[in-house]
Chains A and B, each alone.
Chain A
Amino acid sequence: MSFTKRAVLKLSCAALVAFSPLPALAQDWEPRRPIDFVIMAGPGGGADQIARFIQSVAERYDLTSRPLVPNNQGGGSGAEALLHLNNANDPDHTILVTLNSFFTTPLRQANLGIDIQTFTPVAMMGVDPFVLWVHRDSGITNFDQWLETVRGMNGDYVMGGTGSGQEDSIVIAFLSNAYDLDITYIPYDGGGAVARDLAGQQIMATVNNPAEAKGFYEAGDVVPLLAFSDERLPAFPDIPTIRELGHDFSYANQRAVVGAPGMSDEAAAYYQAVFTQVYESPEWQGYLESESLSPLWMSPEEQRAYWDTQVANHRDLLASLGQ
């Protein structure tokens, strides 16, 4: 047994020598353990891609003295990840990349006993807007046409999205309420599967993030109709926002990093400095632009205030949508 181990070790050590990160930040506190970098999604989804991108930027610039170790905890709409942080026995070395499940899951599952205000704000990396997509072959090119089609189908119009009570279903439920539509909603386990089944015309429309639909959009398979952002998206300048249509609504998925409850102030300051550097890196700025994310940089205090407004907003949204 030990021989085989050694063979692997030799190879892997060779690979590691090239990378051993040097302490890049002169700070009082430095991690002494590998940092548990929890991802609120399974491997391969949109959220996972972003988390790994962030990790790769931190690696490239040797920003941390101990590596960020990605840890996918995607179960239960983020409940698993939140519990993992809540029970972390080493909060100084445990951070989480979040989505909006950070707000919705504690609301919908009160029995988990999670109070997000106990978490430690680290960095708001950006927000991922939602866009309404249809397949090219549907022949629909604008939102009015889409409304007409949906109304004409009497409930047979099929849309897909992520699990019930999650981001996609909130946006679609809002649409159906606002325009009094009857839509059949099919929940999938991730944005990638949703984009795929739209391209294969298993479903008729989605509200994917631009990053998830990008490949099919560039190939001309899917057509954007409406953006759920505050302003028009630079990548789709001709697509109206729902605000322009007279609805006081916008919805975006947050891509933020938070620390475990009970993290020391020194550790929080360390991570805030690290992720500020990641945020300012040309790679991340390029990613924001190419994947149509909107920047929304905030100080830690502002993040806490933002959490409060988001929780209140989501509570209202979920209540008004009957979820």
Chain B
Amino acid sequence: METLGLLGDGMLIALQPINLLLIVIGVTVGLFIGAMPGLGSVNGVAILLPITFLVPPTGAIIFLAAIYYGAMYGGAISSITLGIPGASTAVATTFDGRPLAMQGRASLALVTAAIASFIGGTVANIIFTGFAPLLAGVALSFGPPEIFALMLLAFATFVGLGSDDIPKTIFSICFGLVLGAIGFDQISGAPRLVLFDITGFLQGIGFLVLAIGVYGLGEMIWTIEQTRGDVENTTPRMTAKGMAQDTAESLRRGWRGTTIGSLIGFFVGILPAAGATPASLMSYGVTKMISRRPQDFGRGSVDGVAAPEAANNSASTGSMLPMLTLGIPGSPTTAILLGGMVIWGLTPGPRLFVDQTEFVWGLIGSFYISNVAALIINLAFIPVFIWMLRMPFTILAPVIFVLSIIGGYAATRDMFDIWMILIFGIGAFVLRRMDYPLAPAVLAIVLGPIAEPTLRQSLLLSGGDPMIFLNRPIAAPITIIAISLILLPLVKVFRKKKPA
């Protein structure tokens, strides 16, 4: 009851005209920043951090959280309309969002993404409000072995996502993992895999460089080549009636993914270092596993759009939990928000919930309001994106190329990365032509740099004994589930082979 009272007060704070205005501006700005390939919530929050000096801390954090929310909604837009995941959290959205758009059903995909995001965010908010202090301990109980087990589980859930060509899929996964190892070895501090001794490789290869190269350039050139430059424009004009039908359809066909995404997203989101990307992948994988129509996944399944989108929004709320209850960042964006609190003169940490009631509950209240605002604003802008998709392909293609290059530069501000994007783009075109699936590589480059250090930290903890993954109460069940999931398809393959 007391919680509800605090929440009510918090909502009233969020509904004050100035804060409401900040929410609306923040969500809109975030939406566009998220929709721009290369820019994500980190950029938006980091850049607008100093601006927040103009308003009191509560307004400032509400504004930044609104940007964070908006960017999570926006990530789906570039995944669906441009086919480029603008942030690692939106990779899984391309799997089915892009095929839907190619079938002329971009509006269905966009509406599904918006609604799933809204439900994911709201479910997370409710769990957050009810159980935040209780769940705080869970975040702390995840050390390196638990996080590694979780990464293993994330790999396990997308093991079946590759093409039927098993050697090529395995190649792609390993290639992504090796790319992620380029740069410095975190454990020994030594430079590693500085290819051809070019110093540019010291900084490593980021997810965005590979993703923009593969999707922004490689996939685009492939499409131009396949369609002989004559892409049929099937995207219908947007109408109010069409939107209402899409809403109904997205709920009917996407409820399963939305539910799974909302729950998995929140619980993975609250874990340190994991964040929204593994959450969205796992939700996609799990939804596919329990779906009645798994064969639709990757070919335009509504569930396949709903699950990752519900998950990444739910996870972004989840990652606020360790930030507010413990002062621990759950994602790079919340890390910057924590920095903001220091600038505003607050001390992030376990005392924040007790000492800064108005700040904390004002923020929590604003999550609910931001979510509603983001849904409305996102739906209102969908016709604009649809209009964009209706442009002739010979205009859309160069625009995507330009956005890829400029967005790729914006992410790291390094020309080396632009050259790498170009190399990956041409390479991806060739490999795509040769039927090498590339999505596994793009996912592996995100998970690899989390998995390898945690694996080695765990083994340092145990003195080299791999049993550490099986004799800790939280790591053990996760590891066992992950390993069985990985072995399951292999068993099936051998079963199939025997009779033949």
Q: Do chains A and B touch in the complex (CB under 8 A)?
A: yes
Could you tell me how many residues of chain A have their Cβ less than 8 Å away from some Cβ of chain B? 66
B contacts with A: majority SS: helix
Residue of A11, A76, A163, A196 near B29 (CB, 8 A) is A11
A201 to B347, CA, bound (A): 21
Residue B17 at the A interface, CB < 8 A? no
Residue of A19, A84, A163 near B189 (CB, 8 A) is A163
CB contacts (< 8 Å) of A158 on chain B: these are 461
Residue of A77, A187, A200 near B140 (CB, 8 A) is A200
Q: Which residue of B lies closest to A201 (CB)?
A: B140
A44 to B323, CA, bound (A): 12
| CB-CB under 8 A for A187 and B351, given A80-B203, A200-B143 | no
CB contacts (< 8 Å) of B437 on chain A: these are none
Q: Which residue of A lies closest to B326 (CB)?
A: A199
Closest CB-CB distance, A187 to chain B, in whole Å? 5
| CB-CB under 8 A for A59 and B202, given A8-B29, A164-B187, A216-B350 | no
A215 to B349, CA, bound (A): 4
Contact present for B384 and A4 (CB under 8 Å): yes
CB contacts (< 8 Å) of B199 on chain A: these are 83, 112
Residue of A76, A186, A215 near B348 (CB, 8 A) is A215
Which residues of chain A from 192 to 243 have a CB within 8 Å of any chain B CB? 192-193, 195-197, 199-202, 211, 214-216, 218-219, 221
Q: Which of A23-31, A49-57, A272-280 contacts B (4 or more CB under 8 A)?
A: A49-57
| CB-CB under 8 A for A44 and B349, given A53-B343, A75-B202, A164-B189 | no
CB contacts (< 8 Å) of A199 on chain B: these are 140, 326, 328
Closest CB-CB distance, A112 to chain B, in whole Å? 7
Residue B229 at the A interface, CB < 8 A? no
Residue B453 at the A interface, CB < 8 A? yes
Residue B356 at the A interface, CB < 8 A? no
User: 1/0 per residue A12-54: CB within 8 Å of B?
Assistant: 1001001100000000000000001000001111001100110
Q: Which residue of B lies closest to A18 (CB)?
A: B54
CB contacts (< 8 Å) of A178 on chain B: these are none
| CB-CB under 8 A for A4 and B184, given A44-B335, A76-B191, A112-B199 | no
A166 to B332, CA, bound (A): 22
Contact present for A1 and B32 (CB under 8 Å): no
Closest CB-CB distance, A173 to chain B, in whole Å? 12
Contact present for A75 and B203 (CB under 8 Å): yes
The 6 closest A-B pairs by CB, nearest first: A215-B349, A44-B335, A202-B143, A200-B140, A219-B350, A164-B189
13 A/B residue pairs, CB under 8 Å, sorted by A: A42-B332, A44-B332, A44-B339, A76-B183, A76-B203, A79-B191, A80-B203, A163-B184, A163-B189, A199-B140, A200-B141, A200-B142, A291-B342
